[in-house]
Amino acid sequence: MATKVPDPTPEQRRAIDRHLDELDLWNRRLNLTAVRREVAWERHVVESLALLDAAGLREGVRCADLGSGGGIPGVIVAIVRPDLAVTLIESDQRKAGFLVHVSGLLGLGNVTVAARRAEEMGADPAHRGRYDAVLSRAAAPPPLLCVLSMPLLTTGGTLWALVAAADAAAAVGVLEGDPAVRAERPAPGIFAVQKIGDAGSAG
């Protein structure tokens, strides 16, 4: 059964604020985000929770945050859904170092950081076809996100991405008719692609 995302508890809100504070501090030398701290809750947290709500992930599923950067949406997801196993995929070693730091600081035992390229992960038997969901926030244009995500997903698994509304609409149009995937736009800035086969342009 799909899970509706409740409002963060006071403890979860404190953890999210700690994450945003660390993100702001490290951003001065790592360029993790263009979003200023004073608007970070609205931009990072509200959007991440909207994505998670659209995904409706079942309890205990395994998900990956592709191109995690500063941990958006992956760290937010891990905080509010401790039942999920979250792998943060980030090829930039310095950014991956931040993710290791902040997940340790917050005691997120459900988080694993993979400092590798998505292409390598998709070719690795330990990760290929192992994820029920891939989450991403504009880590790449939607068509490329599909190419990078499909090898990671189980059959029936879904890519959920925060992208520009126009990009989401265009990508859904491009993928219509592809027998390997089912694409939809559940909200203007959310792009979803379910893997239903192994052939086709997205796989």
Q: Give the model confidence (pLDDT) of 60-87 as tens digits.
A: 999 999 999 999 999 999 999 999 999 9
119 belongs to an annotated ligand binding site:
yes
203 belongs to an annotated ligand binding site:
no
String of DSSP letters for 14-75: HHHHHHHHHHHHHHHHH---SS-GGGHIIIIIIHHHHHHHHHTPPTT-EEEEET-TTTTTHH
- Report the phi/psi class of residue 56: left, alpha or beta, with left for phi > 0 and alpha for psi in -120 to 50: left
Q: Give the model confidence (pLDDT) of 151-172 as tens digits.
A: 999 999 999 999 888 887 888 8
Distances (CA, A) of 140 to 67, 113, 158, 161: 8, 19, 16, 10
The CATH number that applies at residue 69 is: 3.40.50.150
* Within a domain: 202: no
pLDDT of residue 201: 41
pLDDT of residue 171: 80
59 belongs to an annotated ligand binding site:
no
The domain containing residue 148 runs over which residues? Answer: 10-195
* Within a domain: 62: yes
Q: Which residue has the tokens 């796989």?
A: 203
* Within a domain: 200: no
pLDDT of residue 3: 64
187 belongs to an annotated ligand binding site:
no
The stretches in the chain having pLDDT less than 50 are 199-203
Q: Would strands 111-114 and 131-137 be described as parallel, antiparallel, or unpaired?
A: unpaired
Burial class of residue 97, CB neighbours in 10 A (0-12, 13-18, 19+)? middle
CB 161 within 8 A of CB 142: yes
pLDDT of residue 160: 97
* Within a domain: 4: no
Nearest residue to 155 (alpha-carbon basis) of 193, 184, 124, 196: 196
* Within a domain: 203: no
pLDDT of residue 57: 96
* Within a domain: 104: yes
* Within a domain: 2: no
Buried b (16+ CB within 10 A) or exposed e, 144-173: ebbbbbbbbbeeebbbbbbbeeebbebbbe
pLDDT of residue 4: 65
**Per the structure, how many domains does the chain have?**
1
* Within a domain: 3: no
Distances (CA, A) of 122 to 44, 71, 73, 95: 27, 20, 20, 20
How many whole angstroms separate alpha carbon 164 and alpha carbon 31?
A: 21
